[in-house]
Structure 1
Amino acid sequence: MEAFKYNHTLQGRNIRLLKVIPGAESTVLRIELMERSLDDAQFEALSYVWGDQKEKMLAICNSKQLEIGANLYAALLQKRRRRCTVPIWADQICIDQNNTDEKTRQVRLMRTIYATADRVVIWLGEQQSEDEDAYSLAKHLYRKFDGRSYDINAGKYDFHDFDCRSVGVPEPLFNWRWTAFFNIISNPWFGRVWVVQELLVAKKSVMWRGRLDLDTDVILWLAMQVGRHRNLYCNFNNTMGSPEFSALTARDIASGYYAFKDHGPRPIYGVLSRYLGMEATDSRDRFFALAGVSLGLDPAFVDYKKTFREVACLVGKMTLLGFPTYRVTGNGTELLILNDNPSNHRFLIDWLAFHANPKNIELGLPSWVPDLLSPHKPGLLMTGFYNSLYLQTERPLPNPRVRFSDQPVDITGVGPTQWQIRVPNVSRTYPFPLTP
């Protein structure tokens, strides 16, 4: 059978959608790929992890052979088992991944795709034997604590024990229901950066764990509690064998979900610092995946013709300036714009030091680019916590400040000034645009 090939590049706001063809459990997965306008399509969107792409499964797409990742294959098989006929959008198939121009345009549309979808289906893998009991535990606690009215800022820096006894649930130590829940929030979905945007902009979402439907709010609420309470957090680490990113990864997904609902998007450096350590197959996607839930970014920010170094340096400039708007003029000039008093654009020097990049040589980045990617070690986390809470109130700290230079620049539509950044105790002044 002939191999499937994309016959043309998607233009404008057109997208591809796939429909799973009904079939017996033992038969190969068959799908139909169709092109539709995003403005009038009815569809769902899939939020999932690509997984190891060495594990490929053979599907039949438009009567031709198509290899797809094993995890996506499993999610689509589950859709077939459920007899769901609604078309669905899944990036691995619906975007020609080998077409740089199409990939750039479609990734720029991804926020709109997930926001437009009737429902976002979050795939958490196949159901395990004790998942229903874990979900019953989560629902019980969610009701007891009135999770619908949860205030993310309440007890933000309290790391006390979760009072299991008062609400009639077992202590977490070696308890099989808690262990089953820990397994659910250890799914790789909680560690991938792309899922952040897919979750935050969805008007409706559901988590699929095999045939089991999980309420997104219930799972994220309890994930938040695991990351905020000492006994739950420690037992998660002990039970799961002290995984590299611990319960903090699922907690970060949950806290970002609540913060976005309360306050909306933030500058990209603030969004990045919330999701340290999240993974992406393409290193540029660590930035591009969060563009749609960040403030002030022109769609042209997403550009797969740029190198990782170029993108990281651009975000580094934004971080040093503070609250800039990024846009591209008609002639391709990239601009970082400060919309109010430039003297207000500053960061505490200890915040910048906290995000100093220990891997800049390994990553091929200049030393001035703050590290908004790597997970911090527990000791460093506590140092940042201590500095943020206490040092700011005990002693004055030097602040980086933005200033004007006297060198004029002639750019249509922009004032005749060039921004510069001066960091205290650093003799060099960096003109903008900085050369990566």
Structure 2
Amino acid sequence: MFLETIRLPGNSQLVWADAVCIDQQNLGERDQQVKLMGSIYSQAQMVLIWLGPNDHEDTERARALIDHMTTYRMRDQETPPTLQEARDYFTMIERPLWNAFAGILRRPWFERVWVIQEAANASKGLFIVGDQTFLLDEFYLAADTLLHYHLGGLLQFEGPIQGPESLVCMNHIKRHILTESEHELLGALILTRPFNATNPKDKLFGILGLIHDGSVPGLQVDNSMSVTQIYQNISLYFLFSVGSLRILSSVCTVPQNHPIQTPSWVPNWSFKGEGGSYTRNKHYYRATRNTKPEIWASSADNNLVLKGNFVDKVNRFSLFQNLTPPTLTAEDGNIDFAGPLILQKAQRINQYYVLALGNTDGLSEISSGAYDNFLRTLICNRTMEGIEPTPAFIARVQSFVQNTQSLLLLDDWTEWYRYL
């Protein structure tokens, strides 16, 4: 249907479609072509992305919403609105427009790992939805608008949607992916973990098109290997070829009934359970500076042995209080989508307090210098761009932490917005 849709009567055009041009059953050909896909997408005049048929009226509604966002962001550059002004504007837009756009963002395309290299490598991309087209950059702007003004809940009126997060991820990879091969591969693996792959091997092969020429020297993997062996070789590459322990930060607890099992020191990239990873940070830090780890791996029993220094031990930890989500309705206005998000952040900050201090009452006794260090520790002394934060940035972190702590003490959750 896609090829019929893009057909130009009376004209010819050259189209490369991976599903047609690569023999999907030939593992050797797939291994060879995977290394070329990055250059194919990056050199294409246009990358066409077929999202499937769609009701004409719904497509027009989605177009209207995106136009609203584009116009507002252009106006935003001239006279930046307050967060509340922006929310007031967007919550006045008719619900059918949001539902129509949400329907597009729920398409399976936004959840597949293979599509990331299409979008990230494309110099120019075009979504085709029914009889309507949208520039890929328009979708990037829409996703950024949802994030910038905290509007995601307006799309999630009928349940969670991965589309906006996927677009933000693709755009981040496109614009900010790190240049060192170690960081590129590990960063791409972490960023794309929430995406789906029919074949779990493709959690790696589906992103190789993002890495240089599609190959990583020293990484021994191919489609003839088992999933477990591929994942294990990824870890061995970082541990021994790169000499870095950072891969261990992506290890997570996997249920015993999960179909794919790996050694405890090997991240299971096929599993994306919430809260499973010991750290989901997308940036990279080296507390040991340039020292090389002393490490041994046993092929007989799949054990990993590390040499390190004993620092201290955690005697106990607990939550300060047990929070429950607020009950909110559409009549509550624009708070109908923010309560669960604020609750999640409040719980997370509260856990940080308890783990760091044992009791939140101790906050008032901390010196300003110690509190500054505490805040920098919370964010690993890095901004989302991976650079050291300025004092002004730390002040904003402090404001967020204090406001979030205030939310924990609110009896009436409808008052949350006063603290944002």
* TM-score interval, normalised by the smaller of the two chains: 0.5 to 0.7
CA–CA distance in 2 between the matches of 1:308 and 1:347?
A: 21
Q: 1:302 to 1:90 in 2, by over 3 A?
A: farther
Higher relative contact order (CA 8 A, sep 6+): 2
Unaligned ranges ≥5, structure 2:
78-82, 297-303, 311-420
1:137 matched to which residue of 2? 65
Q: After the TM superposition, which residues 136-215 of structure 1 pair with which residues of structure 2 at under 5 Å, given as runs?
A: 136-146=64-74, 163-166=86-89, 169-171=90-92, 175-215=95-135
1:310 matched to which residue of 2? 229
Please state whether the residue corresponding to 2:133 is helix, strand or coil: strand
Instruction: Give how far 1:346 is off.
Output: 4.3
1:289-337 CA distance string (max 9 Å, x none): 1112136714975621222111111222345x3xxxxxxxxxxxxxx53
Instruction: Give how far 1:276 is off.
Output: 2.0
CA–CA distance in 2 between the matches of 1:115 and 1:356?
A: 37
Report if the CA contact (8 A) 2:146-2:152 is conserved.
Answer: yes
More strand by share: 1
CA–CA distance in 2 between the matches of 1:183 and 1:303?
A: 37
More helix by share: 2
Q: After the TM superposition, which residues 315-334 of structure 1 pair with which residues of structure 2 at under 5 Å, given as runs?
A: 315-318=234-237, 321=239
CA–CA distance in 1 between the matches of 2:218 and 2:47?
A: 22
Report if the CA contact (8 A) 2:294-2:307 is conserved.
Answer: no
Report if the CA contact (8 A) 2:87-2:149 is conserved.
Answer: no
CA–CA distance in 1 between the matches of 2:91 and 2:168?
A: 23
Instruction: Give how far 1:404 is off.
Output: 5.2
1:247 matched to which residue of 2? 161
Instruction: Give how far 1:234 is off.
Output: 2.7
1:363 matched to which residue of 2? 260
CA–CA distance in 1 between the matches of 2:169 and 2:191?
A: 9
2:306 matched to which residue of 1? 422
1:36-66 CA distance string (max 9 Å, x none): xxxxxxxxxxxxxxxxxxxxxxxxxxxxxxx
Instruction: Tell me if 1:221 matches 2:129.
Output: no
Unaligned ranges ≥5, structure 1:
1-73, 150-159, 322-335, 407-419, 427-436
1:89 matched to which residue of 2? 16
Q: 1:280 to 1:405 in 2, by over 3 A?
A: closer
CA–CA distance in 2 between the matches of 1:283 and 1:388?
A: 21
Report if the CA contact (8 A) 1:127-1:210 is conserved.
Answer: yes
Instruction: Give how far 1:214 is off.
Output: 0.1
User: Please, which of 390, 403, 425 is the counterpart of residue 293 of structure 2?
Assistant: 403
Q: After the TM superposition, which residues 228-239 of structure 1 pair with which residues of structure 2 at under 5 Å, given as runs?
A: 230=150, 232-239=151-158
Q: What TM-score results when the alignment is normalised by the length of structure 1?
A: 0.56
Q: 1:404 to 1:380 in 2, by over 3 A?
A: closer
Instruction: Give how far 1:371 is off.
Output: 3.5
Aligned residue identity for 1:337: S
Instruction: Give how far 1:258 is off.
Output: 3.1
Report if the CA contact (8 A) 1:75-1:123 is conserved.
Answer: yes
Q: After the TM superposition, which residues 57-96 of structure 1 pair with which residues of structure 2 at under 5 Å, given as runs?
A: 74-80=1-7, 85-96=12-23
CA–CA distance in 2 between the matches of 1:95 and 1:388?
A: 32
Please state whether the residue corresponding to 1:364 is helix, strand or coil: coil
1:36 matched to which residue of 2? none
Please state whether the residue corresponding to 2:32 is helix, strand or coil: helix
1:110 matched to which residue of 2? 37
Instruction: Give how far 1:89 is off.
Output: 1.2
Report if the CA contact (8 A) 1:138-1:218 is conserved.
Answer: yes
Instruction: Give how far 1:113 is off.
Output: 1.6
Instruction: Tell me if 1:122 matches 2:19.
Output: no
Instruction: Give how far 1:170 is off.
Output: 3.9
Aligned residue identity for 2:241: I
Q: What TM-score results when the alignment is normalised by the length of structure 2?
A: 0.58
2:402 matched to which residue of 1? none
Aligned residue identity for 2:264: S
Instruction: Give how far 1:421 is off.
Output: 6.9
Q: 1:164 to 1:234 in 2, by over 3 A?
A: closer
1:216-243 CA distance string (max 9 Å, x none): 111122124435655x32333332xx2x
1:260 matched to which residue of 2? 174
Aligned residue identity for 1:294: I
Instruction: Give how far 1:356 is off.
Output: 4.2
Determine what percentage of the aligned residue pairs are the same residue: 23
Aligned residue identity for 1:98: Q
Q: State how many pairs are aligned.
A: 292
1:337 matched to which residue of 2? 241
Q: 1:171 to 1:273 in 2, by over 3 A?
A: farther
1:342-398 CA distance string (max 9 Å, x none): 5xx44497x446x44446963131121124443342x668x957x999xx9xxx999
1:412 matched to which residue of 2? none
CA–CA distance in 2 between the matches of 1:106 and 1:132?
A: 38
RMSD after superposition? 4.0
CA–CA distance in 1 between the matches of 2:201 and 2:260?
A: 12
Please state whether the residue corresponding to 2:259 is helix, strand or coil: helix
Please state whether the residue corresponding to 1:111 is helix, strand or coil: helix
Q: After the TM superposition, which residues 12-31 of structure 1 pair with which residues of structure 2 at under 5 Å, given as runs?
A: none
CA–CA distance in 2 between the matches of 1:347 and 1:211?
A: 46
Instruction: Give how far 1:94 is off.
Output: 0.9
